[in-house]
């Protein structure tokens, strides 16, 4: 087996372990597990030097049980077919877990973005979107990409514009991609959503009294020491919300090395320092650790991988000291590391649940694009008027006047950001307790990951069972 076949095989292993707890027919399980469409394509890019370079790209649609399919696009020199397949499969299970009505998909372009100029990146992104459009692999009712490793709002805006150019007059065209800038049909809170969702997931887990007792940790997020690997979109925002929620970010590990401060690091200061110097090393007040991978083995309460897959293996798992693994990245724990963590009694909060905040808010963005109105626009002032009326009644009843600051905080009416955050919080809390229930109610389910896969299998199987199979 090639090393590159591993990631999809790893997802399959987890799936198979969970499938043992069901009695669905083998054929149905095979269908849920399989990637429905794998599109691999090459296209030419004219470099600024005038040379032509062939670019390798993929889009994988894992499951068509619900449409559109949904999943990010990754730009990395390490992208390979089985990785995109694995990530697409994880998207199917993730969407099912958080009741987002999409099938799973993923895309990838095999490039190191740093090696391309801005206009080269724009040309290759637009060509990628054009190739997908030509093959009916892109569209608000077909397949809706989003950012992933190496891509962000900028690329999503180029994709939306390219799709619109091929579909003049299509009213819902902006819904062909999510993670766009707010000024181009994006939704407030999408950029932070995965990190914010990780914070909600960790907060819920830390509030489980019995689980914290079992781990020998105090209840609550306050003072929990966190190691973060990867200070990109997911790692940065997760660090920010967890720190604001009372946790201490004691180590940040990036490509160039790691830094440590037992009293707590500020992610914003580290990002600024890295931007200015090209490395997190040398941040004032912190100790440098040259070996970034070794930094993951330091003592902490929570370890938050937010870079790439395959971080924890049979080799390093025995040395990991964290009590909780919060899987911000997709697939950081290999099936060889998983039993080691289980045996050590660690709590692994699995990727397909805890990093689902991104796709949840992408769903909200898609809804916003289809409804063509900002969340809160119709009701904000109406609700504010109701809240002010309520405050007036309280003032008259109690004889106490609210201060201007209290009035502003208590009667503001929800705006888009409030509604998005509230929808995300509700989703993450409900999905967490659903997982716990599945684990507790199914004899033999060893951990939350297998509970998550099991719950996802049940939900996708229900779709096939209720809808039937065409023709």
- Give the footprint of ligand NAD on residues 144-203 (CB under 6 A): 147-150, 194
Helices (H) and strands (E) in the chain, counts: 16, 12
Q: Taking CB under 6 A as the rule, does residue 138 contact ligand NAD? A: no
- Structural contact between residues 87 and 131, judged by C-beta atoms closer than 8 angstroms: no
How far apart are the C-alpha atoms of 170 and 176, rounded to whole Å? 11
Enter the tokens of residue 351: 């990727």
Stretch near ligand NAD under the rule CB under 6 A, chosen from 3-11, 249-257, 372-380, 454-462: 249-257
CB of 108 vs ligand NAD, minimal distance in Å: 10
DSSP 335: T
**Contact with ligand NAD (CB under 6 A) among 176, 206, 234, 448:** 234
Which of 84, 97, 231, 457 binds ligand NAD (CB under 6 A)? It is 231
Task: Determine if 69 is a binding residue for ligand NAD (CB under 6 A).
Answer: no
Measure Cα distances from 262 to 160, 236, 301 in Å: 44, 18, 12
Residue 306 in the binding site for ligand NAD (CB under 6 A): yes
The residue with its CB nearest to ligand NAD is: 232
Q: Does 330 bind ligand NAD (CB under 6 A)?
A: yes
- Of 48-56, 219-227, 304-312, 338-346, the segment contacting ligand NAD by CB under 6 A is 304-312
CA nearest to 357, candidates 326, 322, 333: 326
Check residue 233 for interaction with ligand NAD (CB under 6 A): yes
Instruction: Pick from 232, 257, 262, 264 the residue near ligand NAD by CB under 6 A.
Output: 232
The binder of ligand NAD chosen from 10, 229, 250, 360 (CB under 6 A): 229
Q: What are the structure tokens assigned to 394, written together?
A: 């309280």
Nearer to ligand NAD, 149 or 432 (CB): 149
Q: In angstroms, rounded to a whole number, what is the distance separating the alpha carbons of residues 463 and 364?
A: 22
Sheet holding 69-75, edge to edge: 37-46, 52-61, 103-109, 69-75, 143-147
> What secondary structure letter does DSSP report for 231?
-
Which of 247, 240, 157 lies closest to 197, judged by CA?
Answer: 240
Q: Which residue has the tokens 């000024």?
A: 183
From candidates 265, 307, 419, 448, binder to ligand NAD by CB under 6 A: 307
**Active site residues per annotation:** 106
Q: With binding defined as CB under 6 A, does residue 431 bind ligand NAD?
A: no
Stretch that binds ligand NAD, among 23-31, 61-69, 251-259, 436-444 (CB under 6 A): 251-259
# chain residues binding ligand NAD, by CB under 6 A: 24
Residue number with CB closer to ligand NAD (68 or 328)? 328
Distance CA(21)–CA(468), nearest Å, equals 22
Work out the angle at residue 64's Cα, subtended by the Cα atoms of residues 61 and 70, and round it to the nearest 5 degrees: 50
Instruction: Answer for the pair 183, 110: CB distance below 8 angstroms, yes or no.
Output: no
Q: Closest approach of Cβ 348 to ligand NAD, in Å?
A: 16
255 binds ligand NAD (CB under 6 A): yes
Residues making contact with ligand NAD (CB under 6 A):
147-150, 194, 229-235, 253-255, 292, 306-308, 328-330, 355, 358
């Amino acid at each position: 087996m090639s090393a590159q076949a591993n990631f999809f095989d790893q997802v399959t292993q987890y799936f198979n372990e969970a499938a043992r707890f069901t009695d669905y027919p083998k054929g149905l399980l095979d269908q849920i597990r399989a990637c429905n469409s794998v599109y691999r394509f090459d296209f030419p890019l004219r470099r600024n030097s005038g040379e032509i370079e062939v670019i390798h790209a993929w889009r994988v649609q894992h499951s068509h049980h619900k449409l559109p399919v949904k999943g990010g696009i990754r730009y990395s020199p390490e992208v390979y077919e089985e990785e995109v397949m694995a990530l697409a499969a994880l998207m199917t299970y993730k969407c099912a877990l958080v009741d987002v009505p999409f099938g799973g998909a993923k895309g990838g372009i095999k490039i190191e973005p740093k090696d391309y100029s801005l206009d080269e990146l724009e040309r290759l992104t637009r060509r990628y979107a054009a190739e997908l459009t030509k093959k009916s692999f892109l569209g608000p009712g077909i397949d809706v990409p989003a950012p992933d490793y190496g891509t962000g709002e900028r690329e999503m805006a180029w994709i939306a514009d390219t799709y619109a150019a091929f579909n003049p007059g299509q009213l819902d065209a902006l819904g062909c991609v999510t993670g766009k800038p707010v000024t181009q049909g994006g939704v407030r809170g999408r950029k932070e959503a995965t990190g914010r969702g990780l914070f909600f997931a960790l907060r819920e887990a830390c509030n489980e009294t019995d689980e914290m007792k079992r781990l020998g940790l105090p209840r609550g997020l306050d003072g929990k020491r966190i190691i973060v690997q990867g200070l990109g979109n997911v790692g940065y925002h997760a660090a920010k919300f967890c720190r604001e929620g009372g946790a201490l970010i004691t180590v940040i590990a990036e490509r160039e090395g790691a830094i440590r401060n037992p009293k707590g690091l500020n992610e914003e200061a580290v990002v600024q320092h890295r931007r200015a110097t090209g490395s997190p090393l040398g941040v004032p007040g912190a100790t440098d650790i040259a070996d970034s991978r070794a930094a993951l083995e330091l003592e902490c309460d929570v370890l938050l991988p937010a870079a790439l897959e395959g971080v924890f293996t049979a080799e390093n798992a025995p040395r990991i000291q964290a009590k909780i693994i919060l899987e911000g990245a997709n697939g950081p724990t290999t099936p060889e590391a998983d039993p080691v963590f289980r045996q050590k009694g660690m709590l692994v909060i699995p990727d397909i649940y805890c990093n689902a905040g991104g796709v949840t808010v992408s769903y909200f963005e898609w809804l916003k694009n289809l409804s063509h109105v900002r969340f809160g626009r119709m009701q904000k002032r109406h609700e504010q008027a109701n809240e002010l009326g309520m405050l007036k009644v309280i003032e008259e009843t109690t004889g106490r006047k609210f201060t201007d600051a209290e009035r502003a905080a208590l009667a503001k009416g929800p705006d888009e950001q409030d509604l998005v955050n509230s929808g995300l919080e509700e989703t993450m809390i409900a999905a967490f307790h659903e997982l716990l229930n599945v684990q507790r109610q199914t004899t033999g389910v060893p951990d939350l990951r297998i509970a998550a896969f099991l719950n996802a299998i049940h939900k996708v199987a229900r779709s096939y069972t209720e809808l039937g199979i065409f023709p």
